[in-house]
Amino acid sequence: MKVYNTLSRKKEEFVPLEEGKVKMYVCGPTVYNLIHIGNARPMIVFDTARRYMEYKGYEVEYVSNFTDVDDKIIKKAMEEGVSAQEISQRYIAECKKDMEALNVKPATVHPLATEEIGGMLDMISALIGKGYAYPAKDGTVYFRTRKFEGYGKLSHKNLDDLQAGHREIQVTGDGKEDPLDFVLWKPKKEGEPYWESPWCDGRPGWHIECSVMAKKYLGEEIDIHAGGEDLIFPHHENEIAQSEACSGKPFARYWLHNGFLNIDNRKMSKSEGNFFTVREIGEKYDLQVLRFFMLSAHYRSPLNFSGELMEAAKSGLERIVNGADSLRSLSSGANAAAMSPQEEEIWRGSGAFVEKFEAAMDDDFNTADGIAAVFELVKYANIHTGVASSKELAEKLYGRLAELCGVLGICVERKEEILDEEIERLIAERQAARKEKNFARADEIRGILLEKGILLEDTREGVKWKKA
């Protein structure tokens, strides 16, 4: 498997630190609002990378944080007259709902910056101890950028060309030695959340949060660090400086960055006001369509969002789901159980599309070509199956299609069917509860189903249900 590494600006063979395991960190959103579809791009593409590595047999430890202390969160809290924590908790919960609807798997750990302050104080102290950081008079702690030899190696910037990070809060305290130095810890302002520290009551800079959370949950050396391309500089450059100055070891082996999602060929961003939230798109489309749309381009390419492309994604996805549907109905209506020798040949032939899919994904997660292979498999199945097909062939082809789609995080079952399954599961759970004389739970389940518009009827043949 090859991945494009921003560090080397080359596609490199992926070799994990530990055989069979992948330690991966993906920078998560700052939670002060509903996420927009640009924020959803890294979630979807790196979730797909994770799924593909799992498909290949790797055990993936996937860590993705929530930045829950930040100027924008504080500003929003002040506007609403509530605590910053209330804002961040609210939007973490909303973000998790969106992730679920986008079929983004929960991370192995979703750490919160505010719960990792102790580790940040430790790392900052260690950096001061090694001479890589210093407190200024007002208690701000700065990283001594020029002291870290490799500074600029990720963004391929020359130190002299650099300017202080645009996402850094400008601290006017005196005592900053060099304009390139960036903030590790900053003093509190009136009304802001703060923590005690040896330098001042205050809060961490944004970059130190990720260095600390990656170290705590994955270790000093990790395989993959990922995020949107706007994070290359200064965020990831600064993370490298902090982590490597502290540990003396290379921090992440592979740095992966997704391209931007644009709208009308302009960068989609909250500050420009030209964005759609995932929620808004979810009102118009099944969010699988959004996922499919995102994966129809290579993750490193810029991608322009438009209604036309979403419609194209919708009909493409429909073609795949229809293909899966017809295989399923062929398998349930099939006369012959086992494959004929001729069908075995057809089955073997379908392996070519798996190879194509894998070759595409092995080439820096080329989901666009991966999807093309899935389309070819659908077409092949349509051509080579029919009413005379055996159950075995229809099932196997369905399984193959569902598996490849599963790597993309695309579910080929129809939504109603998922719902039916859920109903059946709840009914079974209710029956079990009744058997155990847990009538409270049984009633609760009846209530849950009623809320979903499902009426239960206890008959002699068992429980029947219908939609109200």
Rank residues 27 and 128 by Cβ distance to Zn ion and give the closer one: 27
**If contact means CB under 5 to 8 A according to the sort of partner, which of ligand AMP, Zn ion, none does residue 210 touch?**
Zn ion
Distances (CA, A) of 406 to 104, 227, 399, 402: 11, 22, 10, 6
CB of 65 to Zn ion, least distance (A): 7
CB of 71 to ligand AMP, least distance (A): 12
Scan residues 182-241 and list those touching Zn ion (CB under 5 A): 210
CA distance 126 to 142: 13
> Of 19-27, 93-101, 342-350, 362-370, which segment contacts Zn ion by CB under 5 A?
19-27
The beta-carbon contacts of 326-330 under 8 Å, at least 24 apart in sequence, are: 326/382, 326/385, 327/381, 327/385, 327/394, 327/395, 327/397, 327/398, 327/401, 328/394, 328/398, 330/385, 330/386, 330/387, 330/389, 330/394
Number of residues that bind Zn ion (CB under 5 A): 2
**If contact means CB under 5 to 8 A according to the sort of partner, which of ligand AMP, Zn ion, none does residue 230 touch?**
ligand AMP
Rank residues 104 and 397 by Cβ distance to Zn ion and give the closer one: 104
Per-position b or e across 198-224, b if 16+ CB within 10 A of its CB: ebbebbbbbbbbbbbbbbbbbeebbbb
115, 92 Cβ separation under 8 angstroms:
no
**If contact means CB under 5 to 8 A according to the sort of partner, which of ligand AMP, Zn ion, none does residue 135 touch?**
none
Scan residues 332-361 and list those touching Zn ion (CB under 5 A): none
CB of 260 to ligand AMP, least distance (A): 4
Distances (CA, A) of 436 to 420, 428, 444: 24, 13, 14
Rank residues 209 and 358 by Cβ distance to ligand AMP and give the closer one: 209
CB of 410 to ligand AMP, least distance (A): 20
**If contact means CB under 5 to 8 A according to the sort of partner, which of ligand AMP, Zn ion, none does residue 228 touch?**
ligand AMP
Triad 399, 105, 275: Cα angle to 5°: 115
CB of 27 to Zn ion, least distance (A): 3
Rank residues 107 and 210 by Cβ distance to Zn ion and give the closer one: 210
**If contact means CB under 5 to 8 A according to the sort of partner, which of Zn ion, ligand AMP, none does residue 261 touch?**
ligand AMP
Determine the residue with CB nearest ligand AMP: 228
Rank residues 296 and 350 by Cβ distance to ligand AMP and give the closer one: 296
The secondary structure of 27-90 as a DSSP string is ---B-SSPPBHHHHHHHHHHHHHHHHHHHTT-EEEEEE-BB--SHHHHHHHHHHTS-HHHHHHH
Rank residues 67 and 331 by Cβ distance to Zn ion and give the closer one: 67
Strand partners, 263: 266, 305
CB of 47 to ligand AMP, least distance (A): 13
* Residue among 355, 373, 357, 374 at smallest CA distance from 365: 357
CB of 149 to ligand AMP, least distance (A): 27
Scan residues 23-52 and list those touching Zn ion (CB under 5 A): 27
CA distance 214 to 251: 9
Rank residues 5 and 67 by Cβ distance to ligand AMP and give the closer one: 67
Binding residues for ligand AMP, rule: CB under 6 A, are 27, 29-30, 38-39, 41-42, 227-228, 230-231, 258, 260-261, 267-269
* 174: CB partners within 8 A, 6+ apart: 136, 137, 138
CB of 238 to ligand AMP, least distance (A): 14
Binding site for Zn ion (CB under 5 A): 27, 210
